[in-house]
Structure formats: C-alpha cells, structure tokens
C-alpha cells in the first residue's frame, strides 16, 4: 500500500480540552481508508500539541523534514494535514520556502479544503509547463499562508495593545487575579493585602537559606512542623522542593511582576516568554533586596555531591572521591555503633568487605583520617571560610542578575526579525550593557578572591564536628564535601605499615597525608613539597619534623624487609618502633641518637641477609 503520514498541530490547552486532535486524526484516517493509503498510527503521525505555528518551535515538523531529507520517508509519499496553516503561521516568505521544500519530497493533502499539492520531481524545472493547475494550487496556498500569518500577527498585536492599556491603568486595577499565595486581592482588584502569617514563613525560609540550609533540608523542616508552617495552598498536603525554590527565586517577593505570554502548565511543556519589562512595586514588597541577594549567593555556593543522603547527618567527609589504592574500588564508611569494644566508625574497602578479590580487608579508624583531612584542607587553603556577604558580593550578585536579564532579552530579539531600526538599536544597546556587565563582574570576582579568608583548623573543626545545631552541622558537612569535590579529582587510600592517602587534585597537584594510627601523629604535603605536621590530640612541637623524617626512613626500611623472615631483624625493627613511639609521647630529643644507631645496625644486618 502507498505510505501516508500525518502532521497534527494545535496551539492551546483549550483546543486540547476540545476535539482538535481527534478531529484531525479522524479526517486523516478516513482519507487513507478511502484512497488506499497505509497510516501507521505509531510511526506515521507527527504531532505538536500545544505549540504555536506563529511563535512556537515545531520540533516534530522539523523531524519530519529531516526524515524526508535522509530518505527515511520515501519520496512521493503523502503528508496529510488539516490545513496549510497547521504547517506554519510564520511570515509568508518563511512559510512558502518550507512548503516548497516539503514538495521536493512528498505530496501534501489538506483535509479541510480537499486539495492535493503534488510532489515536485527532480527533473521538473518548470512546474507550470507540466501542470497549470499545480501552479494555481501553489498560488492558492500562498494566499492561505498569508492569511494565516496576518491573523496570528493581528492577534499578537491586539494582545500587546491590551496589555499596554492594562499597564496604563495599573494604579486603579491590577493586571491579573493569579497572585502569590502570601497576598489577597481586594474585591475591586485595585490593591493587594499581605497575609502576615504567610510572610513570616517566607522570611524564615530566606533566613535559613542564608544560614546555609539547603532546599532539601528546608523542605524536611517545614514538613516536620506543618502546624507552624502550613503549605502554600490547601490543595497540597506537603511542601515540595519546587515551592521552596520558587519562593527563593521569584522576584515577586521584591514587589516585581513580570507579565508573560503563554499559559502555566501548557501542553507540550510550552515555555512562557516575558512580555515587556518587569513592573516594579506592583506587589507589596515582603523581602528586601539585600536579603534576596544574600539568599541567591547562598544558593549558588551549595553544590551537593551525588548519591543518597541521610535525613539527619552527613557521616563521611571523604564521600564520592576516596578509593582503595590496592584495587581502585570504593572505600565504604562503616558505623559499628557506640560499643566501647566492637563499636566505632571506620573506612574499609567495599570489594574486600563483599568478598571480592581485594586483600585489604582492614577497617581503618575514621575519625583520625577525618581530622587529617581537615588539616590538609586548612594548610592548603582548599576551602574559603564562609562569611556574611560583603558589599562586593551583593554588588556582584546584582550585576549577575542584570547580565542574565540583558542576555535573555538579547537572545529573544535575535530569534526574531531584527531588520527594523528600533530593534537594531535595542540589540546594540543590550550588547554594550552585557559587555560592561561582564567587565565589571570579572573585576569584582578578582577583588572578592583577593579578600576571601581561608579556614583555620580550629574554625573548621568547630563547624564540621562540634556544631551543636544538627541541621547546621549537616549543611556544614555537605558544603565541606562539595568544596572538596570541586578541588579533588580522586583520592587513593593505601595501607603499608601505616595508612596514607594520595590526593590527585584537579589543578594537577598531588598531595599526601600520612598517619601514625597508634599515636595520632601525621602530616600532609604542601604545594611547595614541604610537609605540615599535625598531632591530632596535642600541640605540634619543634621536633615533629625530625620525628616525621625518622618515620619515613622507618617505613622505607620496613618495605625493604617485608619479604625477609629473621628473628634478629624483627627484634631490631620492634626496638626502633618502640623508640619512635616514645619520642612521639615524651618528645625526648636525646632518643634520636639511639634510633639512628638502631637503624644503622638494622641496615647492616639487612645487607648481610640479602647477600647470603
């Protein structure tokens, strides 16, 4: 059977509630049945539901044309539409080019006026010579398309005039009855009244956001206290992320109203487009601009890592970047509870734990490793200390907002017909604004980086370990992990006589932390190649660098002796280990000579054993 394809489009939700789709499909199927065409309803129907042929982006019509061009649709097939204005309601020159391009591949039949436009074959240079009626049909199509464009253009002009008139009368009558949930519109539609209880909830949401609480945690808090924080509408039983996010980003809290073209929740996810500039002081202002900007700064600073999060705590600061250095698998956080003997928090290789091939089945105490991570972070300046936004931060946020709006306005103009002189002038004006905004944004970002304070160890320890407010502690730990994910490409945990972690940074630096498990003494490397030492349960001492060097030499010695079994050698090694431990505890510098002597004796014995 001959192949037929159908293109069905309607532009508004009102048409969806009516009979538009069924009507167009039924007429198409009836024609196919009568004339012997095959119409596969799964594969042969291209549809745009809720898409305007005047201003919408007809993606499925573009897909049909592409299928014609690639040969997926055979030349000479039939495209059935209700009327030519279903194909396009754009300017006549644009619509006609598209129509003739379609005729290069398929015949077109319109069910409403029962007209058939014939496929133009490749060897037909002059259609008129072959078929005068075809040329007449094309002229007729030109008239239909022109009428469709004029109708849509007139509707848009009337809509704009209607909005302009309503703007002029804004002081006596508000433009719309669709208003934010924290307001009431007076019966005469002239003024808004604030719902004080609702505004208090909005202020609470902004305060918590600025404190660093994320949307997910905010939603949990609100839903856990619905008596104190009732939902925005009676239809919703719980707060949703979209509701909280909208409150934190919608400028109606500042009193602004932005008219749009398009319906809320339009079919086909139709995007609403701004109509003109925002109207300032339209609503009563319930949040001041500084608070609004601070909230935007706080939101942008939060980048939560991947994966499922606990409702109340964020246990593992190494989450999402630590791997087993022996098998390249994941290191898993294990909490065995508070039992003094069997309890505790650990990191262990997930492969080994689940019976995989990795032989590193040891559970490593988590807290000392976490403290060394804090030490590495503060010594290398990985994370700036969060502080209330300065005037520079607020100015930057304001400029970024203006720059985004100017860019959106420019993109909107460039998508249309910008040959008119006023449009060209506006494009030039917006381009200059964007250039100036970008320059000032770069300058402010440089200044902010210059004055950004870095975390000190005690401050970070207080914020991510000692903080008593559970919600704030949760947010602090998430933020810390997020900053680390921005800095660290991957980290490998290796155990070879003592645990150490190698960090491969995104700036190509490599850092290491090493830890003596017994005495919580360790260190981390700096970009200069030097080492910064840390006693996790005490104050650093002047002899720590010497202890570190002795430990490194001892680890190297252990590595050389790991495959040699000799009782005398083991005794030497145990003696050295006890001397190192005594130095760490007693800080007795006089013991260094004894250690050096023992290392020399051990080395001499090792040489003899290797020779024999």
Per the model's pLDDT, the better-predicted residue between 552 and 315 turns out to be 315
Strand partners, 494: 500
Query: What pLDDT sits at residue 382?
Result: 80
Mean pLDDT in residue range 525-542: 78
Q: Model confidence over 67-120: pLDDT tens digits?
A: 889 888 888 899 998 877 767 656 566 667 777 888 888 898 888 778 888 877
Report the C-alpha dihedral over residues 302, 307, 311, 312, rounded to 10 degrees: -70
Element (H, E) at 521: strand 521-525
- Calpha distance 307→167 (Å, rounded): 48
Query: What pLDDT sits at residue 323?
Result: 92
Location of structure tokens 């209880």: 197
- The sign of the dihedral angle between the CA atoms of 191, 195, 199, 200 is positive
- Calpha distance 542→502 (Å, rounded): 26
Q: Which two tokens stand for residue 534?
A: 């840390």
Rg (C-alpha) for the chain, rounded Å, is: 36
Q: Which two tokens stand for residue 111?
A: 């069910």
Total-model pTM: 0.49
Select from 497, 523, 533, 518 the least CA-distant residue to 585: 518
Q: Are strands 2-10 and 78-81 parallel, antiparallel or unpaired?
A: parallel
Q: Which two tokens stand for residue 100?
A: 């003739």
Q: Distances in Å between the alpha carbon of 1 and those of 6, 25, 40, 70, 78?
A: 16, 19, 12, 22, 12
Location of structure tokens 């909230």: 295
Contacts (Cβ under 8 Å, ≥6 apart) of 496: 555, 559
Strand partners, 109: 80, 116
Alpha helices in 50-131 (DSSP H): 59-70, 92-103, 127-130
**Residue 282 Rama label (left phi>0; alpha psi -120 to 50; beta):** alpha
Would the pLDDT of 607 be above 60?
yes
Contacts (Cβ under 8 Å, ≥6 apart) of 575: 598
Mean pLDDT in residue range 482-511: 85
For 524, other C-beta atoms within 10 Å of its C-beta total 24
Q: Model confidence over 14-35: pLDDT tens digits?
A: 444 446 777 788 888 899 989 8
């Amino acid at each position: 059977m001959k192949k037929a394809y159908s293109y069905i489009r309607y532009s508004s939700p009102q048409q969806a509630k009516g009979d538009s789709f069924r009507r167009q499909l039924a007429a198409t199927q009836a024609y196919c049945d009568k004339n012997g065409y095959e119409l596969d309803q799964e594969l042969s129907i291209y549809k745009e539901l809720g898409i305007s042929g005047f201003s919408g982006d007809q993606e499925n019509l573009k897909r049909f044309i592409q299928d014609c061009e690639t040969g997926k649709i055979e030349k000479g097939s039939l495209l059935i539409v209700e009327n030519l204005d279903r194909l396009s309601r754009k300017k006549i020159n644009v619509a006609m080019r598209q129509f003739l391009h379609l005729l290069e591949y398929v015949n077109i039949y319109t069910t409403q006026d029962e007209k058939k436009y014939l496929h133009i074959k490749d060897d037909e240079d002059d259609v008129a010579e072959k078929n005068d009626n075809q040329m007449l049909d094309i002229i007729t199509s030109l008239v239909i398309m022109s009428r469709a464009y004029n109708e849509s253009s007139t509707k848009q002009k009337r809509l704009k005039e209607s909005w302009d008139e309503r703007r002029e009368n804004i002081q006596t009558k508000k433009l719309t009855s669709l208003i934010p949930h924290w307001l009431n519109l007076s019966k005469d539609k002239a003024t808004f009244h604030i719902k004080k209880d609702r505004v208090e909830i909005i202020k609470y949401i902004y305060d918590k956001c600025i404190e660093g609480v994320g949307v997910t945690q905010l939603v949990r808090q609100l839903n856990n206290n619905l008596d104190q924080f009732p939902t925005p509408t009676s239809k919703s039983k719980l707060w949703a992320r979209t509701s909280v996010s909208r409150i934190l980003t919608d400028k109606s809290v500042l009193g602004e109203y932005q008219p749009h073209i398009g319906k809320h929740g339009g079919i086909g996810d139709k995007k609403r487009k701004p109509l003109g500039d925002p109207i300032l002081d339209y609503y009563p202002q319930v949040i001041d601009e500084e608070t609004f900007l601070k909230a935007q700064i706080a939101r942008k600073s939060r980048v939560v890592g991947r994966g499922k999060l606990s409702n109340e705590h964020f246990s593992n600061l190494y989450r999402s970047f630590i791997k087993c250095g022996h098998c390249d698998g994941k290191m898993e956080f294990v909490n065995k509870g508070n039992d003094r003997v069997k309890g505790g928090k650990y990191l262990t290789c997930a492969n080994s734990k689940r019976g995989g091939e990795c032989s590193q089945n040891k559970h490593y105490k988590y807290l000392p490793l976490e403290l060394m991570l804090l030490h590495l972070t503060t010594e290398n300046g990985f994370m700036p200390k969060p502080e209330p936004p300065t005037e520079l931060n607020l100015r930057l946020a304001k400029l970024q907002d203006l720059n985004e709006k100017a860019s959106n306005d420019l993109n909107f103009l460039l998508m249309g017909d910008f040959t008119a002189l006023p449009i060209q002038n506006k494009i030039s004006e917006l381009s200059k604004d964007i250039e100036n905004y970008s320059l000032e944004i770069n300058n402010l970002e440089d200044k902010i980086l210059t004055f950004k304070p870095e975390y000190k160890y005690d401050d970070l320890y207080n914020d991510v370990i000692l903080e008593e407010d559970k919600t704030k502690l949760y947010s602090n730990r998430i933020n810390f992990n997020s900053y680390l994910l921005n800095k660290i490409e991957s980290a490998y945990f290796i155990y070879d006589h003592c645990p150490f972690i190698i960090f491969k940074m995104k700036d190509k630096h490599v850092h290491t932390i090493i830890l003596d498990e017994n005495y919580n003494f360790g260190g981390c490397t700096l970009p200069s190649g030097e080492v910064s030492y840390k006693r996790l349960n005490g104050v650093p001492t002047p002899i720590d660098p010497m202890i570190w060097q002795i430990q490194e030499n001892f680890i190297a010695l252990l590595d050389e002796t790991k495959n040699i079994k000799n009782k005398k050698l083991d005794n030497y090694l145990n003696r050295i280990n006890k001397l190192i431990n005594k130095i760490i505890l007693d800080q007795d510098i006089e013991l260094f000579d004894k250690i050096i002597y023992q290392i020399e004796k051990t080395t001499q014995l090792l040489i003899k054993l290797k020779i024999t």
